């Protein structure tokens, strides 16, 4: 993991080479002049015995060495020095600048040309080597900057890492990325070493990036580079520190590109995930529309077929047939009514328009009334009730009665005839907990929450009768009362639906409304 | 003769109502509440027409269609709902003969059943004159590539004749756009439905007395075409 500020050691070495070693002019000059002096000193004792041209060859050495160290500017100095020394010490007559024989002019000329060419060549090689090292260092920095943005941990972190690395590697005194949003407000997710940037940005509010660029252009030591962003609002890279060399300008422009890539990638990712969730919503909406139209159309189909038969004088219907058709019409009309009512309840709950008429309610009475109402559908099961002595709750009697009925009907629908259904209610701290348990197939693990989603049924392909909205409505109602509803596995198999309602506390059940202002 | 009808639907109310209405009209009715049961009953009860709902809890209606078609040509009338057009067409491609959209009146359902029975009877009786399809006033002679309406000969182009002949060979059945295009124009033309519109218009001008109100060539918008023998009046 590349932590902030941890610049690997080999990289530091590369950075040192990034600014090519400035040719050490003084050392070069000293070497070439000193070298010439030493050469002269060494050669003088033998000058009667050696060839004049040999001295010229030896005197090329200090020029080349000096140029290698001090660069090209050393070469002419070295050549002149060597030329003078050669003429003065080695071309007879000695210790004069006169040149005796014509051939010595040729020697001097050859010396000057050879020394100059050699020196220039060596200096050039040196410079090329330094440049190559510089390029290598640059490449390593580019790689480093590019990989700084690869970790997938959010735009701001990536930009901060990028700026931090850039400050250290290029190096910069400071750097910052400034981004505009849709309303052209500027903010800086990543800033290092640029004081009072946020303050400046506040001042430039509403100015768009161009305003900042102009501002920056008037600030010495600070440069602004527009980010090449093509998707969404633009941004600017601010850098503090010298950008005198071509290489540094290249690095800064690369930094800007990299920041832009970061910003765009993050924007496109956000866009993609927004699209995905829209698609999911769309898919769910289609499924819901499909389910609703199926549930509305099915009873309508039966009603229409029945009515068309009853209305057709050509069809010879027996009295029994007529009874069957009329009964079907009634049942299916009830079914439609139930479905439409549930749909309306559901939409009221979802839009927050559910009206809760609270009153002090006894759960025991509510249980008795509901069980009495459902006697017929509960008759097929072994049904038991265990309701303790309960405090009053402050609820809408009708709505909670509906929840209770719904849970009981659910239990009868989803369990085989003859199996046990138990209804219990008990006080529990500040709550009254009501529980409907059955011995049916239960709810598959992990689906405990999803059964409360509207139209959950449609995702399981379960064609049990019912509207698929019952539990969602129960949840809506219970939560509107500040309570909670959930399902767990019943001991011994089956499902156990429970809900809690807050106990009525510190409120006298019946009181005269208090006047706003009490007069004494 | 009493015809046996098999009704496959998972809605008890529909089974009850449709069963009652069809029995009152003199049919014997067998019902099935699931696809599996439907496939079994199609073999056991030897129905003359099968009425199949597409939305079944166990196997998809299209699959039921395919399984039944593996061994019998008994006409299948598909019950579909709005929003299931794609599956309706798939069922027709798998060999279903016709469809009716819920909610429907019983009279309309019976009319469809009668069309299916008529063509089934015609198919069963075919064999007198091979290569000749007799749809009441409309006679298609496949061997001579000749068509007559009310005894009057009709001039058709080769394509028009192929178009009509394919529908005539499958008279009573709703032939989907894709099947018709691939049969008449060849594979690769499966999506060029505008060809069909053009040829259907030409054909109607030639064989129908009132092209705007066709007796023989019916259009199922978005689905396909159906050639029917007009019911004998009286």
Q: Do B13 and A328 touch (CB under 8 A)?
A: yes
Q: What is the pLDDT of chain A when averaged over all its residues?
A: 81
Under the banding of pLDDT at 50, 70 and 90, the label for residue A10 is very low
Q: Note whether B77 and B96 are within 8 A (CB).
A: yes
Q: Tens of pLDDT along A325-377? A: 999 999 899 888 888 888 888 888 888 878 888 888 899 999 999 999 888 88
Q: Do A304 and B104 touch (CB under 8 A)?
A: yes
CA distance B209 to chain A (A): 30
Q: What is the pLDDT of residue A207?
A: 62
Q: Do A315 and B106 touch (CB under 8 A)?
A: yes
In this predicted structure, the answer to whether residue B129 has a pLDDT above a threshold of 70 is no
Question: Among partner residues A293, A318, A328, which is closest to B17 by beta-carbon distance?
Answer: A328
The residue of chain A with its CA nearest to that of B84 is A290
**Alpha carbons A241 and A508: distance in angstroms, whole number:** 75
Question: How many other C-beta atoms lie within 10 A of the C-beta of residue A300?
Answer: 16
B-contacting residues of A 450-489, CB under 8 Å? 461, 463
A419 CB within 8 Å of a chain B CB = no
In this predicted structure, the answer to whether residue A213 has a pLDDT above a threshold of 80 is no
The residue of chain B with its CA nearest to that of A294 is B81
CA atoms within 13 A on the CB side of A156: 4
Q: A466: buried, middle or exposed (CB in 10 Å: 19+, 13-18, 0-12)?
A: buried
The stretch B52-79 carries a mean pLDDT of 90
In percent, the amount of chain A with pLDDT more than 90 equals: 13
Q: Note whether A154 and A100 are within 8 A (CB).
A: no
**Alpha carbons A474 and A400: distance in angstroms, whole number:** 8
Q: What is the pLDDT of residue A465?
A: 60
Q: What angle do the packed helices B106-125 and B12-24 form, to 10 degrees?
A: 60
Q: Do A297 and B102 touch (CB under 8 A)?
A: yes
Question: How many other C-beta atoms lie within 10 A of the C-beta of residue B31?
Answer: 20
CA distance A311 to chain B (A): 10
**Alpha carbons A464 and A130: distance in angstroms, whole number:** 81
Q: Angle at the Cα of A244 (from A173 to A28), degrees rounded to 5? A: 105
Give chain B positions within 8 Å (CB) of A289. Answer: 83
Q: What does B135-162 look like in DSSP terms, one character per residue?
A: ETTEEEETTTTEEEETTEEE---HHHHH
**Alpha carbons B151 and B209: distance in angstroms, whole number:** 13
Lowest-confidence segment of A81-85, A278-282, A338-342, A466-470 by average pLDDT: A466-470
ipTM greater than 0.90: no
Q: Do B103 and A315 touch (CB under 8 A)?
A: no
Q: Note whether A37 and A93 are within 8 A (CB).
A: no
Neighbour order of strands in the sheet with A420-428: A382-387, A420-428, A431-438, A495-502, A484-489
Q: What is the pLDDT of residue A459?
A: 47
A334 CB within 8 Å of a chain B CB = no
Q: Note whether A176 and A164 are within 8 A (CB).
A: no
Q: Does the predicted model carry a pTM greater than 0.95?
A: no
The residue of chain A with its CA nearest to that of B9 is A298
In this predicted structure, the answer to whether residue A306 has a pLDDT above a threshold of 90 is yes
The phi and psi torsions of A461 (rounded to 5 degrees) equal 75, 10
Max CA distance (Å), chain A:
153
In this predicted structure, the answer to whether residue A518 has a pLDDT above a threshold of 50 is no
Q: Which of A315, A318, A326, A463 to mutate to test the interface with B (most CBs of B within 10 A)?
A: A315
Q: What angle do the packed helices A246-310 and A155-169 form, to 10 degrees?
A: 170
Q: Reduce the DSSP state of residue A186 to 3 states and report it.
A: strand
Q: What does the DSSP 8-state code read for residue B213?
A: S
Question: How many other C-beta atoms lie within 10 A of the C-beta of residue A497?
Answer: 25
Q: Do B24 and A331 touch (CB under 8 A)?
A: no
**Alpha carbons A166 and A225: distance in angstroms, whole number:** 14
In this predicted structure, the answer to whether residue A317 has a pLDDT above a threshold of 50 is yes
**Alpha carbons A442 and A444: distance in angstroms, whole number:** 7
Lowest-confidence segment of A87-96, B91-100, B138-147 by average pLDDT: A87-96
Under the banding of pLDDT at 50, 70 and 90, the label for residue A437 is very high
**Alpha carbons A268 and A262: distance in angstroms, whole number:** 10
In this predicted structure, the answer to whether residue B12 has a pLDDT above a threshold of 50 is yes
Question: How many other C-beta atoms lie within 10 A of the C-beta of residue A180?
Answer: 22
Tokens at A158, concatenated: 């990536």
Whole-angstrom CA distances from A490 to A32, A440, A483 are: 99, 9, 21
A49 CB within 8 Å of a chain B CB = no
Q: What is the pLDDT of residue A166?
A: 84
In this predicted structure, the answer to whether residue B186 has a pLDDT above a threshold of 80 is yes
Q: Do A325 and B20 touch (CB under 8 A)?
A: yes
Which position has the higher pLDDT, A55 or A290?
A55
Q: What does A314-336 look like in DSSP terms, one character per residue?
A: TS---HHHHHHHHHHHHHHHHHH
Q: Note whether A235 and A177 are within 8 A (CB).
A: yes
Q: Do A463 and B10 touch (CB under 8 A)?
A: yes
**Alpha carbons A64 and A52: distance in angstroms, whole number:** 20
Q: Do A315 and B21 touch (CB under 8 A)?
A: yes
The residue of chain B with its CA nearest to that of A464 is B57
**Alpha carbons A380 and A384: distance in angstroms, whole number:** 12
Q: What is the pLDDT of residue A2?
A: 39
Lowest-confidence segment of A94-108, A167-181, B216-230 by average pLDDT: A94-108
B78: left (phi over 0), alpha (psi -120 to 50) or beta: beta
């Amino acid at each position: 993991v590349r932590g902030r500020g941890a610049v690997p050691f080999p990289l530091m070495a590369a950075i040192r080479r990034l600014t090519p070693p400035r040719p050490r002019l003084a050392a070069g000059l000293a070497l070439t002049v000193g070298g010439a002096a030493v050469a002269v000193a060494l050669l003088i004792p033998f000058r009667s015995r050696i060839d004049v041209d040999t001295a010229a060859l030896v005197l090329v050495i200090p020029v080349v060495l000096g140029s290698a160290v001090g660069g090209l500017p050393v070469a002419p100095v070295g050549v002149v020095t060597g030329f003078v020394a050669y003429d003065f010490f080695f071309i007879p007559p000695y210790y004069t600048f006169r040149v005796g024989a014509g051939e010595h002019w040729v020697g001097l000329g050859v010396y000057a040309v050879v020394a100059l060419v050699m020196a220039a060549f060596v200096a050039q090689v040196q410079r090329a080597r330094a440049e190559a090292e510089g390029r290598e260092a640059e490449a390593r920095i580019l790689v480093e900057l590019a990989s700084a943005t690869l970790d997938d941990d959010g735009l701001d972190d990536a930009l901060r890492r990028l700026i931090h690395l850039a400050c250290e590697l290029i190096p910069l005194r400071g750097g910052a990325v400034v981004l505009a949003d849709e309303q052209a407000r500027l903010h800086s997710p990543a800033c290092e070493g640029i004081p009072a940037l946020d303050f400046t940005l506040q001042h430039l509010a509403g100015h768009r990036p161009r305003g900042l660029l102009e501002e920056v252009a008037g600030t010495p030591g600070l440069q602004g580079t527009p980010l090449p962003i093509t998707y969404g609002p633009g941004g600017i890279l601010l850098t503090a520190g010298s950008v005198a060399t071509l290489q540094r300008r290249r690095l800064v422009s690369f930094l800007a590109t990299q920041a832009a890539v970061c910003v765009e990638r993050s924007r496109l990712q956000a866009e993609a995930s927004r699209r995905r969730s829209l698609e999911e919503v769309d898919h769910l909406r289609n499924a819901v529309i499909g389910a609703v139209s199926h549930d509305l159309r099915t009873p309508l189909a039966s009603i229409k077929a029945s009515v068309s038969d009853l209305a057709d004088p050509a069809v010879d219907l027996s009295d029994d047939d007529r009874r069957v058709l009329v009964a079907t019409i009634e049942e299916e009309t009830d079914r439609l009514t139930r479905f439409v009512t549930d749909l309306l309840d559901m939409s009221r709950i979802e839009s927050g328009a559910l009206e809760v008429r609270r009153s002090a309610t006894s759960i025991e009475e509510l249980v008795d009334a509901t069980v009495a109402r459902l006697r017929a559908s509960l008759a097929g099961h072994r049904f038991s009730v265990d309701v303790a002595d309960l405090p009053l709750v402050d609820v809408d009697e009708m709505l909670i009665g509906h929840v209770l009925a719904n849970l009981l009907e659910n239990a009868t629908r989803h369990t085989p005839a003859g199996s046990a259904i138990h209804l219990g209610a008990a006080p529990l701290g500040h709550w009254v907990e009501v529980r409907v348990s059955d011995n049916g197939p239960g709810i598959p693990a992990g689906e405990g929450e999803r059964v409360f989603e509207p139209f959950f049924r449609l995702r399981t392909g379960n064609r049990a009768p019912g509207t698929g909205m019952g539990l969602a409505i129960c949840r809506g109602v219970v939560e509107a009362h500040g309570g909670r509803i959930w399902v767990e596995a019943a001991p011994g198999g089956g499902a156990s639906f429970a809900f809690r309602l807050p106990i009525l506390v510190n409120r006298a059940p019946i009181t005269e409304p208090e006047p706003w202002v009490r007069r004494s | 003769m009493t015809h046996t009808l098999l009704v496959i639907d998972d809605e008890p109310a529909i089974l009850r109502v449709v069963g009652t209405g069809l029995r009152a009209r003199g049919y014997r009715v067998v019902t099935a509440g699931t696809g599996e049961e439907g496939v079994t009953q199609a073999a056991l009860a030897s129905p003359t027409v099968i009425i199949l709902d597409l939305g079944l809890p166990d196997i998809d209606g299209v699959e039921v269609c395919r399984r039944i078609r593996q061994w019998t040509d008994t006409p299948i009338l598909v019950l579909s709902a709005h929003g299931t057009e794609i599956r309706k067409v798939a069922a027709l491609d798998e060999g279903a003969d016709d469809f009716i959209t819920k909610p429907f009146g019983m009279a309309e359902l019976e009319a469809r059943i009668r069309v299916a029975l008529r063509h089934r009877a015609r198919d069963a009786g075919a064999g007198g004159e091979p290569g000749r399809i007799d749809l009441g006033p409309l006679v298609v002679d496949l061997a001579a590539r000749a068509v007559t309406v009310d005894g009057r000969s009709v001039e058709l182009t080769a394509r028009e004749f192929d178009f009509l002949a394919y529908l005539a060979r499958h008279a009573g059945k709703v032939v989907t756009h894709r099947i018709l295009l691939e049969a008449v124009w060849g594979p690769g033309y499966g999506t060029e439905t505008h060809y069909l519109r053009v040829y259907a218009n030409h054909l109607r001008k030639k064989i129908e007395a009132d092209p705007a109100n066709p007796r023989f060539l019916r259009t199922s918008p978005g689905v396909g075409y159906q050639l029917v023998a007009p019911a004998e009046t009286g």
